[in-house]
């Protein structure tokens, strides 16, 4: 299995996201605007059904859109073989990343033992189930499978939002989170084109809500400087997309955020690790919101 150095991974991933943004496309919303997968709102899954997380979600959503894949299942060449399948000749794999720490014990200058955790990251290649032949039953997409009624999905979302304990008020013509009041302000529901747009906007503002000092205390000034505000909006967009995927909601593309594209490009071009930081913070916010549910719904795969 071919791997890449940590620096190569940062560069390759960031260059891919930059290329999308320069085309005016936000990869965290692309999967819901693509013809044949428009009605299939899912997180990408590993061969064993465990969802990918963070930056890998963005990478595989982007690959799904670019290549028109209908399946959300991904696996390595070896994993396909172990399942009795085979990658079709000429198929190109997709990059995902793996990050972890190695615990080492070293001798200090005075002979004492020093414990250290060394972080590492590597990239490796996976293939979509659509690129693989002879997989067992259950790995193939069932295009005619019945979808849950939209109203049921929205009811679940409203229950999810209520369990966070956030104060959500209705009125006016703007959606925003007010940090000093610690309140999410939403327009009346009839201000939105449909119920899913309303729910997706709540997901965005609740991602901002997680930044409060009493919750995740997300302070971005030291990391992003004068681009901290744009970085927070980037985190909220991705956090809402991750949350929507898990709740089965079609996210709203916030056209009022188009002005942030140039700011995001500036941040990403100056710092190859910025998109990793933003995706990590977005995933952390999503996990936090699930942790407030107090039932099986709060279990988020590692």
pTM of structure: 0.71
Which tokens belong to 195?
Answer: 């119920």
The dihedral over CA atoms of 171, 176, 181, 184, expressed in degrees to the nearest 10, equals 70
Q: DSSP assignment, residue 64?
A: H
Residue 225 region by backbone torsions, left for phi larger than 0, else alpha for psi between -120 and 50, else beta: left
142-151: long-range contacts, CB 8 A cutoff, minimum separation 24: 143/36, 143/70, 147/39, 148/248, 150/195, 150/196, 151/195
Per-residue pLDDT of the chain (302 residues; tens, 9 = 90+): 455 566 678 888 888 888 878 876 677 764 444 443 444 457 899 999 999 999 999 899 888 877 778 889 999 999 999 999 999 999 999 999 988 777 777 776 676 777 777 777 888 999 999 999 999 988 876 554 444 443 334 788 999 999 999 999 987 778 899 999 999 998 877 777 778 888 989 999 999 999 999 999 999 998 898 889 889 989 998 999 899 989 888 766 556 555 677 788 888 898 999 999 999 999 999 999 999 998 644 444 33
Round to whole Å and give the CA distance between 263 and 272. 15
**CA proximity to 289, closest of 173, 142, 184:** 184
pLDDT in tens, 48-81: 999 999 999 989 988 887 777 888 999 999 999 9
* Sheet containing strand 94-107, strands side by side: 74-75, 113-128, 94-107
203 vs 205: CA distance, rounded Å: 6
Q: Which residues contact 116 (CB under 8 A, 6 or more apart)?
A: 103, 104, 105, 106
Strand partners for 127: 75
* Token code pair at residue 51: 């969802």
Q: What is the rounded end-to-end Cα distance, in angstroms, of the chain?
A: 23
Residue 24 tokens read as 């005016």
């Amino acid at each position: 299995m071919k791997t890449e150095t940590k620096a190569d991974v940062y560069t390759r991933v960031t260059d891919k996201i930059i290329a999308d943004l320069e085309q005016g496309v936000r990869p965290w919303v692309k999967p819901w605007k693509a013809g044949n997968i428009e009605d299939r709102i899912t997180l990408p899954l590993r061969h064993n059904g465990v969802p990918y997380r963070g930056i890998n979600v963005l990478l595989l959503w982007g690959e799904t859109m670019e290549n028109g894949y209908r399946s959300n299942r991904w696996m390595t060449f070896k994993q396909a073989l172990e399942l009795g399948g085979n990658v079709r000749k000429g198929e190109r794999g997709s990059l995902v990343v793996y990050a972890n720490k190695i615990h080492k014990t070293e001798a200090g200058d005075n002979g004492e033992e020093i414990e250290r955790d060394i972080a590492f990251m590597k990239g490796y290649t996976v293939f979509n189930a659509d690129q693989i032949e002879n997989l067992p039953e259950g790995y193939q997409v069932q295009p005619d499978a019945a979808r849950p009624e939209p109203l049921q999905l929205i009811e679940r979302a409203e229950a999810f939002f209520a369990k966070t304990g956030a104060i959500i008020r209705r009125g006016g013509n703007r959606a925003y989170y007010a940090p000093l009041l610690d309140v999410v302000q939403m327009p009346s529901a009839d201000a939105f084109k449909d119920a899913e747009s309303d729910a997706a906007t709540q997901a965005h503002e609740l991602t901002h809500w997680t930044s409060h000092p009493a919750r995740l205390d997300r302070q971005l000034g030291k990391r992003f400087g004068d681009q901290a505000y744009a970085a927070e909006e980037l985190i909220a967009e991705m956090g809402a997309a991750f949350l929507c995927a898990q709740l089965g909601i079609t996210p709203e593309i916030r056209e009022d955020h188009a002005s942030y594209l140039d700011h995001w490009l500036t941040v990403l071009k100056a710092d190859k690790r910025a998109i990793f930081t933003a995706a990590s913070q977005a995933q952390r916010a999503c996990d936090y919101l699930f942790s407030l549910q107090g039932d099986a719904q709060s279990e988020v795969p590692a």
